[in-house]
């Protein structure tokens, strides 16, 4: 893949002042176009981050705790939060040094010494990760509609409906517009979580517990839990805490990218509460019966519908965010630096529409032909998050601090932490990937759902 770069200022990116000058020049250039991308304030970027991260994956964390137990589960969550904060700041510092970065593909390009191979690898991983995730959101949308309607239609019909709604929501070409609806997305997911917690607390017992014994929680994994089970639970936690694949595109559409740490701080404050407290409460009430998502553990059908129904909004809007970032990479390669790339022309909008429809259609196909999307999310966590959540940023830190890795206690500590970041990334890529593949093989050895099945997915 060729790297299409705009004619940008030739200022050397050697210090903060030069980077600021380059950023100002990029914003000025962008604002000359009909379609302006670099317009988000840090507040709107925070809304966008929250809309992307306050998602259904939160409701799978109680299941992770049911596999790992309190002690390993909470430790994994806290460590994931720490790594998320540190690596995200490292990413931002690296982008400030190379302000021309507009997506994770260009981040890989510069992090690995302006390597076109690294760019191509990053682009492939971005497209594969995002399109599979879009497929997962289509499948989740169908699951919600199946649940609410008591399977009134073939599930494929509901998947098509979810796909069409996603295409409509993905129409805006700027993240500035998408950030507005992200607030609504986060609010709906928050309501779904709150309702779940209320229903889990007032129910006498979760689904299936009456026949299989009382609910109980435990500090460590139950006897018989395999290390593959534990690793998949860890990957499930990691998947939630590693959204950085989208961050370079978010930063590139801010009017002042320097302010991204403010947006990040808002997201971190929200995440540290929502990613740990509701799952912990869910595990307290569901114990060994926790499912992924936890809505499925509620014993009363009305409770499942009332809480799970709100998930349709974040499902589609988060899918639209991933589609927007994915489309921009493809769109930029098709139109390059032509006037259509930033103008309200028939060609520009036609290409955007065709690319967006194509992304959602491919995502729809994935949603129908993959037997277990949950297993494939573990695969994403191992194969992709190992790079985009850990390895890339350990390499970026090395570039930022090369020659002064051990200058003083604080720098030494950060160097040690980033060394751990690299080791975690390699661990996820090795044993983690093996565990994910083992889980997929185990699922395929049983009954496999046929492609484009009408069978109900409802909770």
Task: Answer yes or no: is pLDDT of 374 > 90.
Answer: no
CB 143 within 8 A of CB 458: yes
194 Cβ partners below 8 Å, 6+ apart? none
Residue 16, pLDDT score: 46
How many alpha carbons lie under 13 Å from residue 34 in its C-beta half-sphere? 11
Angle between helices 61-68 and 277-286 (to 10 degrees): 60
Among 119-133, 234-248, 302-316, 365-379, the least confident range:
365-379
Whether residue 2 has pLDDT greater than 50:
no
Does 375 have pLDDT greater than 50?
yes
What would the two tokens of residue 39 be? 């317009």
Confidence (pLDDT) at 269: 95
Asked if residues 121 and 108 have their Cβ atoms less than 8 Å apart, the reply is yes
Q: What is the pLDDT of residue 10?
A: 39
For residue 11, the model assigns a pLDDT of 38
pLDDT tens for residues 195-251? 999 999 888 877 666 556 788 899 999 999 988 889 888 988 988 898 899 999 999
Cα–Cα distance for residue pair 373/404, rounded to 1 Å: 44
- Provide the β-strand partners of residue 40: 254
- Round to whole Å and give the CA distance between 144 and 170: 20
Specify which of 62-76, 171-185, 217-231, 333-347 reaches the highest per-range mean pLDDT. Answer: 62-76
pLDDT of residue 436: 79
Q: What are phi and psi of 372, to 5 degrees?
A: -135, 100
Q: Residue 273: what pLDDT?
A: 94
What confidence category does residue 3 fall into, taking pLDDT thresholds of 50, 70 and 90? very low
Higher pLDDT, residue 433 or 309: 309
- What CA–CA distance (Å, rounded) separates 330 from 356? 10
Q: Which of 149-163, 168-182, 338-352, 437-451 has the highest mean pLDDT?
A: 149-163
Q: Give yes or no for residue 4 having a pLDDT over 70.
A: no
Res 369 pLDDT > 60: yes
Task: Write the pLDDT tens digit of every residue in 380-419.
Answer: 778 888 999 999 999 999 999 998 999 999 999 999 999 9
Residue 457 has pLDDT above 90, yes or no: no
C-beta separation of 199 from 303 below 8 A: yes
Residue 451: pLDDT over 70: yes
Share of the chain above pLDDT 90, in %: 59
Average pLDDT score, the chain: 88
Higher-confidence residue of 321 and 378: namely: 321
* Domains of the chain by residue range: 56-171+221-297+319-445
pLDDT of 348 above 70: yes
**Tens of pLDDT along 53-96?**
999 889 999 999 999 999 999 999 999 999 999 999 999 999 99
- Packing angle, helices 227-241 and 433-445, rounded to 10: 110
Helix axes 227-241, 70-97, angle to 10 degrees: 40
DSSP string, 204-249: SS-TTHHHH------SSPPTT--HHHHHHHHHHHHHHH--TTSHHH
User: Token pair for residue 221?
Assistant: 């994994």
Note the pLDDT tens digit of each residue in 12-61: 334 444 677 788 888 888 888 877 888 899 999 999 999 999 998 899 99
pLDDT tier at 1, thresholds 50, 70, 90: very low
């Amino acid at each position: 893949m060729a790297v299409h770069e705009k004619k940008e200022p030739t200022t050397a990116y050697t210090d903060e002042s030069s980077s600021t000058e380059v950023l100002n020049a990029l914003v000025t250039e962008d604002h000359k176009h009909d379609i302006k991308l670099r317009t988000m304030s840090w507040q709107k970027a925070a809304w966008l981050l929250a809309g992307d991260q306050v998602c259904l994956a939160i409701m799978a964390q109680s299941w992770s705790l049911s596999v790992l137990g309190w002690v390993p589960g909470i430790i994994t969550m806290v460590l994931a939060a720490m790594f998320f904060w540190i690596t995200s700041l490292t990413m931002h510092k690296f982008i400030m040094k190379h302000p021309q970065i507009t997506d994770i593909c260009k981040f890989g390009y510069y992090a690995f010494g302006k390597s076109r191979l690294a760019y191509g690898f990053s682009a492939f991983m971005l497209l594969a990760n995002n399109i599979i995730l879009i497929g997962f959101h289509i499948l989740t949308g169908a699951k919600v509609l199946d649940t609410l309607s008591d399977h009134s239609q073939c599930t494929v019909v509901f998947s098509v409906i979810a796909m069409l709604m996603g295409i409509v929501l993905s129409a805006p070409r700027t993240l500035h517009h998408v950030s507005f609806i992200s607030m609504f997305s986060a609010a709906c997911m928050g309501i779904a979580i709150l309702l779940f917690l209320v229903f889990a607390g007032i129910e006498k017992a979760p689904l299936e517990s009456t026949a299989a014994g009382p609910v109980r929680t435990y500090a460590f994994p139950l006897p018989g839990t395999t290390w593959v089970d534990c690793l998949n639970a860890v990957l499930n936690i990691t998947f939630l805490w590693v959204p950085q694949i989208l961050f370079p595109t978010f930063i590139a559409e801010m009017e002042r990218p320097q302010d991204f740490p403010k947006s990040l701080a808002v997201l971190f404050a929200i995440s540290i509460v929502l990613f740990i407290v509701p799952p912990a409460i869910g595990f307290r009430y569901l114990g060994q019966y926790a499912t992924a998502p936890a809505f499925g553990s509620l014993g009363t059908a009305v409770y499942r519908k009332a809480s799970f129904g709100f998930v349709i909004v974040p499902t589609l809007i988060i899918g639209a965010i991933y589609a927007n970032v994915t489309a921009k990479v493809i769109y930029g390669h098709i139109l390059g630096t032509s006037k259509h790339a930033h103008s309200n022309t028939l060609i520009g909008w036609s290409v955007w529409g065709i690319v967006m429809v194509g992304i959602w259609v491919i995502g729809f196909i994935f949603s129908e032909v993959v037997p277990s999307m949950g297993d494939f999310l573990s695969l994403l966590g191992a194969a992709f998050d190992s790079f985009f959540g850990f390895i890339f940023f350990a390499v970026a830190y090395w570039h930022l601090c090369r020659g002064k890795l051990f200058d003083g206690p604080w720098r030494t500590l950060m160097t040690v932490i980033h060394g751990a970041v690299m080791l975690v990334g390699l661990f996820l890529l090795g044993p983690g990937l093996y565990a994910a593949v083992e889980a997929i093989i185990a699922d395929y050895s049983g009954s496999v759902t046929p492609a484009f099945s009408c069978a109900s997915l409802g909770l």
